[in-house]
Amino acid sequence: MTTNSTTQSEPWTILRLLQWTTEHLKKTGSSSPRLDAEVLLAHARGCDRIQLYTAFSEEPDEPVKAKFRELVKRRATGEPVAYLVGKKEFYSLPFQVSKDCLIPRSETEHVVIECLDRAKTILARDPSKIFKIVDVCTGSGCIAISIAKHLPQCSIKAIDLSPAAIAIANANVAQHQLSEQIAVVESDLLSSIADSSVDFVVSNPPYVSESEFLQLEKSVREHEPRMALVSGATGTEIIERLASQAADKLVENGWLICELSPMIADQVESHLNGTSQWSSVSIVKDLARLKRIAVAQRNAKSS
């Protein structure tokens, strides 16, 4: 934050800091410059974002301004805000995040919604039902934790291949006091799950193709973990593996609910419809009307 001779004597109030930073981040390519500025200043100040609005005329002390300047500098290079502040909200819940896991996104909330809607339908028929759920590629644990918070009648295994991501997921499980409901497990997809009576397999797996990865925003491509993003040459490889494994673990009429890229939605739908293991295959659109979630029900298992 630099000044010229006409404005040098003006104090750097919270409002002025936000105005200057919004313009600066807009020029560096941020898609939400005002929100970024508010989140970073609230973090530097150690307050909730809403509290900034009652303190516009206040001038932060120098340590706060120095911390804010450093955060803004890093954000201007493309570093995601969630990593800078170490947290992100998902399904109206707070989650710790780091560069070892994907940043939770609103699109992924549709996985939670689809699972909870189907669970509620089942509970209407059988109120005593206790669900077994596996969350594959759990990352921060946001899907598993959001489901558990709204579905006390369940036990969940949250799986990831990355030990560093598992540490983040465990921290979030502890923070939300769900250790009795959720067990975090290191596994390559469902390879270490012996149970074959699972009611739901939910997942936000890697689904980006090699070519699509090159087109991702710089902040995603250069900062979020590649292993959590890229599936392979086509983008469908891991989802196809997961579907095959899930068919062996799910109970009859159990559900696979999986996030995907709109670019591979038709291929995934065709793949699921092309086997005898799945029925009721559908693709759910997100709020932007993009094909985002694959849903399929396990057919009766042949004897």
The contacts found for 209-212 with CB under 8 angstroms, 24 or more apart, are 209/233, 209/234, 209/235, 209/261, 209/263, 209/264, 212/261, 212/263
Nearest CA-CA partner of 194 in 242, 157, 144, 139 = 157
Question: What is the pTM for the complete model shown?
Answer: 0.91
Answer yes or no: is pLDDT of 3 > 50: no
DSSP letters, 278-289, are: EEEEEEEE-TTS
pLDDT at 8: 58
The string of pLDDT tens digits covering residues 223-269 is: 999 999 999 999 999 999 999 999 999 999 999 999 999 999 999 99
Residue 219: band (very low, low, confident or very high) from pLDDT cuts 50, 70, 90: confident
Residue 10: band (very low, low, confident or very high) from pLDDT cuts 50, 70, 90: confident
Instruction: Give the DSSP letter of residue 50.
Output: G
CA dihedral (186, 189, 195, 198) positive or negative: positive
Residue 9: band (very low, low, confident or very high) from pLDDT cuts 50, 70, 90: confident
Answer yes or no: is pLDDT of 4 > 60: no
Residue 218: band (very low, low, confident or very high) from pLDDT cuts 50, 70, 90: confident
Residue keyed to tokens 């270490």: 192
- Say if residues 169 and 158 touch (Cβ distance below 8 Å): yes
The string of pLDDT tens digits covering residues 148-167 is: 999 999 999 999 999 999 99
pLDDT at 302: 58
Answer yes or no: is pLDDT of 6 > 50: no
Residue 144 in tokens:
């598993």
Answer yes or no: is pLDDT of 5 > 70: no
- Say if residues 261 and 232 touch (Cβ distance below 8 Å): no
Answer yes or no: is pLDDT of 301 > 90: no
Alpha helices per DSSP H over 78-108: 81-85
Spell 59-82 as b/e; 16+ CB within 10 A means b: ebeeebbebbeebbeebbebbbbb
Q: H or E segment at 34?
A: helix 33-45
The string of pLDDT tens digits covering residues 75-132 is: 999 999 999 999 999 999 999 999 999 999 999 999 999 999 999 999 999 999 999 9
Gap between the Cα atoms of 299 and 252, Å rounded = 6
Instruction: Give the DSSP letter of residue 140.
Output: T
Gap between the Cα atoms of 220 and 229, Å rounded = 9
pLDDT at 75: 95
